A and B are shown apart, each in its own frame.
Chain A
């Protein structure tokens, strides 16, 4: 499920800063469980990962984190409403088939949602499209024909999606190579990190 391995840790510190110590966290598409392990160390969280790939389940167990093998495309029916402080979707949103449903489920199960995704609006990606090619880059490393990424978006796209779906954005950090980008982030940032809640 994790569509992107490279540059993954860049968003860990940002996510960690947003999370209250001792919080209860659900990490969707948790991959090898590295984020949960990191948050256990930095924020003393209690958490579970959700994964579908056997190899990632094994890696998560090796990392000593709780992991539940299930297909999150089928929804999060095993999880009670409002049972987590944060539901995280780290670099997985773009590989999800039912985007609206997963965001809705994140905000049903968690008080807040956190997503990170590669910014399709990053200048290097735009340049490649202008040159007539689908972008291939460090954080979009796949060729068009073998990519797990089916719903790529830009910062603007995601923010208008949130606006239309009653999702209130609480915080945003846009990054490039681990550094925060404040100037024209939709052009110069290649990784977006958002924290949001249900609009009241």
Chain B
């Protein structure tokens, strides 16, 4: 049942782009669609728009319900809506699905107009930079020059950061939540294990599994199970599942015995049934490649963030070991070095990386307070 503070019933929209988009890899997408949703009302001078960037497995459905019978709302419904931290009574909120996604935007499962078949393995590698460039074109189409804020968690936080570098004039505020300036080797390692699970699934067929009418579900399931472990904290897993056994006794076999096994397998199965394997590969690669310091000879993040002129709110969570607070502090330090307006909050939470999706009064009050202070209509 719907909660009364939700935005209510929402409908996705499709923006079509027929001008070719040159990607960072050098590849070109001739034409493409981006699926997005909007909530609230764009004001007369178009100064109250907020862009929400999604994380690895996210999409454009950030708040509200599609039908009255939906069991769950959009993935960030607790943050976005009337009276909520990102208040749709005040702001015009846009959720957008990234290129390469599997929720309507052009991606590997889309039909390649040149061949009449799904792109599959031929869909080019997309990067955070490419997404931001394409979202800027969507903003153009909507007549929005400057966002009051660009907001994202995890991979979405990297996109928010990239916005401030690629389009400094077009972002007043950036909320970079549970993110990092780039991935650690450990993170890249986790991503590669996830990719290997998919790439070695016999049903993967080199990425062209659509033609075989199969899905590499086993690989995708393993990838998601691994990911899920890394998004939680040891503490929260211990509290929630501990060493609980489903039947109360050891069966000395390899079927599901511990509750945590049951949970992970359920989550893995659910995900494998709905998500596209090629999209998972692309999104994890985009994570691996993102690094604003890459083209800076001394690798200095301070130098790399020099172009960013937005005001920043950087938020991390104490038990997030995949995007640890130290990584957020690197961003903060680089912004301090450049004398930018930045506030940083380290939220005490037991929920690991997933904490950014969970209601926590301090976290939500903080975002609310920050958003409330954004002055609309005035030039930066």
Q: Which residues of A does B touch, CB under 8 Å?
A: 24, 46, 48, 54, 57-58, 60-62, 64, 66-70, 78-80, 83
8 closest A-B pairs by CB: A61-B369, A62-B369, A68-B344, A69-B346, A54-B362, A69-B345, A67-B343, A64-B373
Q: What are some 21 contacts across the A-B interface (CB < 8 A)?
A: A54-B345, A57-B345, A58-B365, A58-B366, A60-B343, A61-B366, A61-B369, A61-B370, A64-B373, A66-B341, A66-B343, A68-B336, A68-B344, A69-B344, A69-B345, A69-B346, A70-B346, A78-B329, A78-B332, A78-B333, A79-B336
- In the complex, which residues of chain B have a beta carbon less than 8 angstroms from the beta carbon of A60? 343
- Is B337's CB within 8 Å of the partner chain A? yes
- Is B342's CB within 8 Å of the partner chain A? yes
Whether the Cβ atoms of A68 and B332 lie closer than 8 Å is yes
Residue of A whose beta carbon sits closest to that of B362: A54
Whether the Cβ atoms of A78 and B362 lie closer than 8 Å is no
Q: With the chains together, A54 CA to B369 CA distance in Å?
A: 13
Whether the Cβ atoms of A68 and B373 lie closer than 8 Å is no
A169 to chain B, nearest CB (A): 28
Question: Which residue of A60, A61, A64 has the most chain B CB atoms within 10 A of its CB atom?
Answer: A61
How many pairs of A and B residues are in contact by the CB < 8 Å rule?
51
Q: With the chains together, A70 CA to B345 CA distance in Å?
A: 8
B296-347 contacts to A (CB < 8 Å): 313, 329, 332-333, 336-337, 339, 341-346
A37 to chain B, nearest CB (A): 12
B305 to chain A, nearest CB (A): 14
- Is B348's CB within 8 Å of the partner chain A? yes
A30 to chain B, nearest CB (A): 11
Interface range, B side: 20 to 34
A50 to chain B, nearest CB (A): 10
Whether the Cβ atoms of B333 and A58 lie closer than 8 Å is no
Q: With the chains together, A66 CA to B337 CA distance in Å?
A: 14
Q: With the chains together, A24 CA to B336 CA distance in Å?
A: 11
- In the complex, which residues of chain B have a beta carbon less than 8 angstroms from the beta carbon of A69? 344-346
11 extra A-B contacts, CB within 8 A, seeds A54-B348, A62-B372, A64-B373: A57-B366, A62-B373, A66-B342, A66-B343, A67-B343, A67-B344, A69-B344, A69-B346, A70-B344, A70-B346, A79-B336
Residue of B whose beta carbon sits closest to that of A77: B333
Whether the Cβ atoms of B343 and A24 lie closer than 8 Å is no
A27 to chain B, nearest CB (A): 13
**Chain B 4-35: CB-based contact to A (< 8 A → 1; otherwise 0):** 00000000000000000000000000000000
Q: With the chains together, A66 CA to B344 CA distance in Å?
A: 8
Whether the Cβ atoms of A80 and B337 lie closer than 8 Å is yes
Q: With the chains together, A60 CA to B341 CA distance in Å?
A: 13
B265 to chain A, nearest CB (A): 37
**Chain B 352-373: CB-based contact to A (< 8 A → 1; otherwise 0):** 0000000000100110011011
B371 to chain A, nearest CB (A): 10
Q: With the chains together, A79 CA to B362 CA distance in Å?
A: 26
Known: A54-B348, A58-B362, A61-B366. A24 touches B342 (CB 8 A): no
Whether the Cβ atoms of A48 and B336 lie closer than 8 Å is yes
Known: A68-B342, A69-B344, A69-B345. A61 touches B373 (CB 8 A): yes
- In the complex, which residues of chain B have a beta carbon less than 8 angstroms from the beta carbon of A67? 343-344
- In the complex, which residues of chain A have a beta carbon less than 8 angstroms from the beta carbon of B336? 48, 68, 78-80, 83
B44 to chain A, nearest CB (A): 25
- In the complex, which residues of chain A have a beta carbon less than 8 angstroms from the beta carbon of B345? 54, 57, 61, 69
Q: With the chains together, A158 CA to B29 CA distance in Å?
A: 68
| CB-contact partner of B343 in A54, A61, A78, A80, under 8 A | A61
A87 to chain B, nearest CB (A): 13
Q: With the chains together, A153 CA to B173 CA distance in Å?
A: 43
Whether the Cβ atoms of B369 and A58 lie closer than 8 Å is yes
Residue of B whose beta carbon sits closest to that of A78: B333
Residue of A whose beta carbon sits closest to that of B315: A69
Q: With the chains together, A60 CA to B373 CA distance in Å?
A: 11
- In the complex, which residues of chain B have a beta carbon less than 8 angstroms from the beta carbon of A78? 329, 332-333, 336
Whether the Cβ atoms of A24 and B329 lie closer than 8 Å is no
Residue of A whose beta carbon sits closest to that of B346: A69
- In the complex, which residues of chain B have a beta carbon less than 8 angstroms from the beta carbon of A64? 373
Q: With the chains together, A83 CA to B334 CA distance in Å?
A: 13
- In the complex, which residues of chain A have a beta carbon less than 8 angstroms from the beta carbon of B313? 61
Whether the Cβ atoms of B339 and A46 lie closer than 8 Å is yes
Q: With the chains together, A62 CA to B329 CA distance in Å?
A: 21
- In the complex, which residues of chain A have a beta carbon less than 8 angstroms from the beta carbon of B337? 80, 83
B314 to chain A, nearest CB (A): 9
Question: Which residue of A24, A58, A80 has the most chain B CB atoms within 10 A of its CB atom?
Answer: A58
Q: With the chains together, A78 CA to B337 CA distance in Å?
A: 9
A28 to chain B, nearest CB (A): 14
Residue of B whose beta carbon sits closest to that of A48: B336
Q: With the chains together, A67 CA to B314 CA distance in Å?
A: 10
- In the complex, which residues of chain B have a beta carbon less than 8 angstroms from the beta carbon of A24? 339
Residue of A whose beta carbon sits closest to that of B372: A62
Known: A61-B366, A61-B370, A78-B332. A68 touches B339 (CB 8 A): no
- In the complex, which residues of chain A have a beta carbon less than 8 angstroms from the beta carbon of B339? 24, 46
Residue of B whose beta carbon sits closest to that of A80: B337
Q: With the chains together, A69 CA to B329 CA distance in Å?
A: 10
Residue of A whose beta carbon sits closest to that of B330: A78
